[in-house]
Amino acid sequence: MSTGVTISSISDYAILGCGSVGYAVAEELVEQGKDVLIIDRDESRVESLRDQDLDARTADIREPETADLVADRDVVLILASDVESNKQAVEHVRAVDDTQFLVARASDPVSGDELEELGADIVINPSSVIAESALRALESGELEYNAGKLAQLLEETSERLAIVTQDSPDPDSIASAAALQAIASHLGLESDIIYLGDVGHQENRAFVNLLGIDLVQWDEIEDHTVYDTVALVDHATSSEMDLSVDIIVDHHEPEEEYEPEFVDIRPNMSSTSTIMTKYIQEFDMNVSEEVATALLYGIRAETLDFKRDTTPADLTAAAYLYPFANHDTLEQVESPSMSPETLDVLAEAITNRDVQGSHLVSNAGLVRDREALTQAASHLLDLEGVTTTAVFGIADETIFLAGRSKDIRINIGKVLEDAYGEMGETAGHSTQASAEIPLGIFTGIEISEDTRDTLLELTEEAVKRTLFDAMGVEGSEGSNGN
């Protein structure tokens, strides 16, 4: 047998109790060239092991003398099916040497705790191991089934595939769309990556430009009927496009109800890029440098460089992509130059900041680039003592607000929902969120040069008061953080 596990430079092992589990471990270690001594009280079993050229001796692992037989071994694995025998063996080995590395077999969590208390370094429960292995096999089988179903659906497309991202797409959505486009191309299908809104954030623009990802604005498409298959990736919506949806791939449940032919939604993964990486692997494709770089950046962006809600699946996907990605390009994407508009918004936000406790809210005034608000909110989060920020500004008779938080006690997405959910649109999660509020709800004043200052003053007061209340901040007078 071969599990693919590589043991370290340790070479001397002892196995006490060689039933089916012990034999499987012994076989793997010997295959890797390790020196293995097997101790078992069943003489016929020991004789059979010797016939296979294994170093086996007859002894009762419950007896203190057995510990002396394995005293020169670096690692001792106590793997008998009788847990009481294993407990005695652990006690005897520890009485002789407390530096040997001990692995002991348990039958349940209680016996596992008892073995640890007696001195076992690692406790294994075969039932749990089998269950985990079964779940991994199930996940692998499910992925293989889904990949086959997705391939069949794509191959049945007679004209063109529309891959729809979320509105004003972020790196995870763009990367996931690029991966699906690569899969479609692998299957001989032409496709377009389509979006609504705009690619406004400087990092996102740099991301798209440097990797040469071709995005198509929905309003610029002359003939929408060319798409006979539609896929939504990363929490997209097609309500404004009036398209029937055939495919959904996401790591969040969609807000709208769809009845597509193919659905793969995995809330246990932190990014849709992780899901699409699994499909790239399942299709056994040669992933291009551009797609690998996009997916790796999508995972890193969605997990805040593996500091937020990261799962083992995200890490294994990133490890797979790492050798194929262009890391110079990643560095350029992560450090784009700041536009004059963003600099102006940041300066305004710094000047107008109001800090109450560890919460900062700031009015950036009238803005042209709404994405500059998100960058200002992120930069202000670096201010000493600040754990939550919200920066808002006015554009197109709408108040746009970007929130960021590194406070584990606060879900900034829920804060904005509580503050503005009934009067506008909010979106986001625990660390980053946004809100759009019609300006007339607060003032009813028509925007003009004469009313500008009054408008900003009334808006600032109303937005800040509502937001600080939602944050649970007392109504004390704030400061600018000095």
Distances (CA, A) of 96 to 64, 68, 472: 9, 7, 60
Q: What's the rounded Cα separation, in Å, for the pair 52 and 56?
A: 10
DSSP string, 319-336: HHHGGGS-HHHHHHHHSP
Q: What's the rounded Cα separation, in Å, for the pair 220 and 113?
A: 64
Separation of first and last alpha carbons in the chain: 66
Name the residue type at position 316. Answer: T
Whole-structure pTM over 0.85, yes or no?
Answer: no
Ranking 220-224, 324-328, 389-393 by mean pLDDT, the lowest is 220-224
List % helix, strand, coil for the chain (3-state, nearest 5).
45, 20, 35
Please name which of 412, 415, 457, 416 lies closest in space to residue 432, comparing C-alpha atoms.
412
Mean of the pLDDT values across residues 95-99? 89
Q: Judge whether residue 67 has pLDDT over 90.
A: yes
Mean of the pLDDT values across residues 20-42? 91
Mean of the pLDDT values across residues 13-41? 92
Please name which of 169, 213, 170, 203 lies closest in space to residue 336, comparing C-alpha atoms.
203
Residue holding tokens 């770089």?
293
Please name which of 122, 130, 196 lies closest in space to residue 166, comparing C-alpha atoms.
196
Q: Judge whether residue 440 has pLDDT over 60.
A: yes
Report the pLDDT value the prediction gives residue 240, as an integer from 0 to 100: 63
Here the tokens at position 300 are 């890193």
Strands ordered across the beta sheet of 398-405: 354-356, 359-366, 388-395, 398-405, 432-438, 425-428
Banded model confidence at residue 482, pLDDT cuts 50, 70, 90? low
Per DSSP, the three-state class of 363 is strand
Name the residue type at position 31. Answer: E
Q: What is the mean pLDDT of the chain?
A: 85
Phi, psi at residue 177, to the nearest 5°?
Answer: -65, -40
Q: Judge whether residue 116 has pLDDT over 70.
A: yes
Q: What's the rounded Cα separation, in Å, for the pair 463 and 399?
A: 9
Q: Judge whether residue 3 has pLDDT over 70.
A: no
Q: What's the rounded Cα separation, in Å, for the pair 242 and 224?
A: 10
Ranking 122-126, 309-313, 387-391 by mean pLDDT, the lowest is 309-313
Name the residue type at position 60. Answer: D
Please name which of 278, 334, 254 lies closest in space to residue 301, comparing C-alpha atoms.
334
Mean of the pLDDT values across residues 428-445? 75
The torsion defined by the Cα of 401, 406, 412 and 413, in degrees rounded to 10, comes to: 90
Report the pLDDT value the prediction gives residue 176, as an integer from 0 to 100: 95
Q: Judge whether residue 473 has pLDDT over 50.
A: yes
Residue holding tokens 């009015």?
363
Report the pLDDT value the prediction gives residue 7, as an integer from 0 to 100: 45
Q: Judge whether residue 2 has pLDDT over 80.
A: no
Mean of the pLDDT values across residues 118-124? 93
The tens digit of pLDDT for each residue in 174-188 reads: 999 999 999 999 999
- The count of other CB atoms within 10 Å of the CB of residue 316 is 14
Region class of 62: left (phi > 0), else alpha (psi between -120 and 50), else beta = alpha
Point out which residues pair with 78 in neighbouring strands.
16, 104
Strands ordered across the beta sheet of 227-233: 215-217, 191-195, 160-164, 227-233, 247-250, 262-265
The tens digit of pLDDT for each residue in 237-278 reads: 555 667 788 999 998 877 667 788 999 988 888 899 999 999
Report the pLDDT value the prediction gives residue 321, as an integer from 0 to 100: 95
Which runs of E-coded beta strand occur in 112-196? Answer: 122-124, 160-164, 191-195
The tens digit of pLDDT for each residue in 134-167 reads: 777 777 788 899 999 999 999 999 889 999 988 7
Domains annotated for the chain, with CATH where assigned, are: 13-124 (3.40.50.720), 139-333 (3.90.1640.10), 340-471 (3.10.310.30)
Q: Judge whether residue 452 has pLDDT over 60.
A: yes
Phi, psi at residue 423, to the nearest 5°?
Answer: -115, -10
Ranking 181-195, 219-233, 453-467 by mean pLDDT, the lowest is 453-467
Q: What's the rounded Cα separation, in Å, for the pair 202 and 306?
A: 21
Mean of the pLDDT values across residues 329-358? 83
Mean of the pLDDT values across residues 85-100? 92
Report the pLDDT value the prediction gives residue 480, as an integer from 0 to 100: 57
Query: What DSSP element (H or E) covers 81?
Result: none
Report the pLDDT value the prediction gives residue 201, as an integer from 0 to 100: 63
Share of the chain above pLDDT 90, in %: 45
Report the pLDDT value the prediction gives residue 298, as an integer from 0 to 100: 92
